[in-house]
């Protein structure tokens, strides 16, 4: 479930490639531990005569719980990509179908981050990117190292603006060329 490199342009390179913070996997891991514990407890405490039927029932419920509440959230977590390149920010989600939003750095008007107390302790937060476009804001939840990511985004936006801005000497030369001087 790696991010496909073939979506990058010729001169584009990945600066940051992130998945949501690992805290998204706390509940799925707890479900996995509880399912394994339930199977072990059932094996130990079920009477010998009804152990086979009871173990099949407990095992089936545990298997469904693990697939639905552990495996599926893990696949969703791994297939969610936040990619920051030298040209754009890409947000890609989806397992069977795929949704991707590209925000060119030139269209980024504002970006802000917020962290609740627990998020500060865990080192994650929410990054909001406001762009000049139809959709306006993009909210990226559970970004690991959100402060570093926001700083990197600021540097990327500034570097993109510097790359596309015309200096005074270059502007004068362009005007002279259009006049035929």
Q: What is the pLDDT along the chain (181 residues), one digit of tens a residue?
A: 566 677 888 889 999 999 999 999 999 999 999 999 999 998 888 887 777 888 899 999 999 999 999 999 999 999 999 999 999 999 999 999 999 999 999 999 999 999 999 999 999 999 999 988 777 789 999 999 999 999 999 999 999 888 877 665 565 666 666 666 5
Which candidate, 70, 22, 60, 23, places its Cα nearest to that of 39? 60
Other beta carbons within 10 angstroms of residue 80's beta carbon come to: 20
CATH of region 14-20+85-171: 2.30.29
What's the whole-model pTM score?
0.79
In sequence order, what are the residues at sequence separation of 6 or more whose Cβ sits closer than 8 angstroms to the Cβ of residue 66? 31, 32, 35
Concatenated DSSP letters of 69-90: IIIHHHHHHHT-EEEEESSEEE
Domain residue ranges in the chain: 14-20+85-171, 24-76
């Amino acid at each position: 479930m790696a991010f496909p490199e073939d979506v990058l342009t010729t001169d584009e390179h990945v600066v940051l490639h992130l998945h949501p913070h690992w805290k998204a996997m706390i509940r799925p891991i707890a479900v996995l531990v509880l399912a394994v514990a339930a199977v072990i407890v059932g094996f130990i405490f079920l009477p010998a005569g009804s152990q086979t039927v009871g173990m099949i029932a407990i095992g089936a419920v545990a298997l469904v719980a693990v697939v639905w509440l552990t495996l599926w959230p893990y696949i969703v977590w791994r297939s969610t990509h936040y990619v920051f390149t030298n040209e754009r920010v890409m947000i890609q989600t989806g397992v069977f179908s795929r949704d991707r939003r590209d925000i060119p750095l030139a269209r980024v008007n504002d970006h802000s981050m917020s962290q609740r107390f627990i998020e500060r302790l865990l080192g994650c937060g929410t990054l909001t990117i406001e762009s000049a476009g139809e959709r306006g804001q993009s909210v990226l939840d559970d970004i690991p190292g959100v402060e570093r990511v926001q700083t990197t985004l600021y540097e990327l936006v500034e570097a993109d603006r510097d790359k596309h801005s015309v200096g005074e000497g270059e502007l004068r030369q362009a005007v002279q060329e259009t006049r035929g001087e």
